[in-house]
Amino acid sequence: MIPCVATTSSCPHAFGYLRSATGDLPDAPLLIPDWMAIAAREELAGIELPLSAAQCQPDALALLRDTAQNYGMKVIVDAGIADAEELRRLVQAAHVVSGMERPVVRVVMTGALCGDRRTLASGWHAHYNAVLEILRSVAPLARDLGVSIAVENHQDATSWDLVNLCEEAGPDAIGVCLDTGNALAVCEDPVEAAKRLAPYVRHVHLKDYRLYFAADGFRLARCVAGDGVVDFPGILAALADTPHTLLPGIEVGAQASRHVTLLQDDWWSPYGVRPITDLLAVLRILWAHGLPSDRDWRTPWEKGAPSATVVRDEMRTFVRSVSYFRRLFSSQGMRVGATRG
């Protein structure tokens, strides 16, 4: 068995989370039992998924727990942008359905993407402080139930931001979900981010990106794991001695490519002062592996393909990514904290 879980966000159109370019949804969107069956077929240890308020009702949670137990699977729960009421509900849900010694709820700080904090109406610092207060308010419940809240570097927060957030909110309950690809969006080397965050990491999204040169910066494009620029052996080595039990999620990038406009002066202003040397590592990756700006980066979804084509492409990309990690974990004896329990 591969010590990883299958994330539903890898197949957003197949699940009906995302319409096609023509506005269509799949004729038969994937359901949770379908995803568990796919994860079982691919020899994965569990699934990661969001839960609506209705899915957090006692009967629904009991059914999810029993279905997961029948498959011998663990469950990791996803939240949206930090909200105290939702987080309390999902912490309680994870306690019921997870099957893990230390259940995990993954949450994000903002809806900002591409490292572009200019999109935050309240400004980065005000938003950071608001999220900090939400996490502090939910932390006692998480402690009582033995649940970890893992804040993702969702193309908005740097590794330094997340270290500070954990320390201020209480690292016994609040940790990090390290998304390996998203570090690039805030101009960080994924391996260096993993090293810095290792003591705080409670969950991981193993995600790759291709890099393309683009106007005012670079573009991050969805790809099969192993076909992009992320150094997964380096990241797993950095996390091998983390003190926390980890069960990483295999995740494929979003259907829409991400345009990081780091050459625009005001892109940097919400970050405050950052040493220029912070930028060198990601520029080295871009110069070594960046593809020409006129190369077609678009997925079938971006090209306006019909729904059935998009579903097939999502599943193919996910299954090929799982195959990459199967080879990596078995051939190189790679491990992270997850493999300990």
Per-domain boundaries in the chain: 2-340
- The type of residue at 28 is A
Taking phi over 0 as left and psi of -120 to 50 as alpha, with beta for the rest, 99 belongs to left
Distance CA 84, CA 56 (A): 15
CA 79 to chain centre: 11
Q: Does domain 2-340 have CATH number 3.20.20.150?
A: yes
Taking phi over 0 as left and psi of -120 to 50 as alpha, with beta for the rest, 191 belongs to alpha
Distance CA 327, CA 332 (A): 8
- The confidence score (pLDDT) of residue 335 equals 63
- The confidence score (pLDDT) of residue 185 equals 98
- The type of residue at 59 is D
8-state DSSP, 177 = E
Count other C-beta atoms under 10 Å from residue 23's C-beta.
7
DSSP H or E stretch at residue 15: none
**φ, ψ dihedrals at 239, nearest 5°:** -95, 0
Of 69, 107, 61, 109, the C-alpha closest to 88 is 107
3-state secondary structure of 200: helix
What does 44-111 look like in DSSP terms, one character per residue?
A: EEEEEEE--TGGGSHHHHHHHHHHHHHHT-EEEEEEEE--HHHHHHHHHHHHHH--SSS-EEEEES-S
* The 217-222 sheet, strands edge to edge: 209-214, 217-222, 258-260
Q: What residue ranges of the chain have pLDDT lower than 70?
A: 332-341
**φ, ψ dihedrals at 226, nearest 5°:** 95, -15
Distance CA 240, CA 219 (A): 30
- The confidence score (pLDDT) of residue 340 equals 40
DSSP H or E stretch at residue 328: helix 307-331
The tokens describing 216, both together, are: 């005012």
Alpha helices by DSSP H, 146-189 = 159-169
- The confidence score (pLDDT) of residue 222 equals 98
Query: Are 248 and 225 a contacting pair, CB within 8 Å?
Result: no
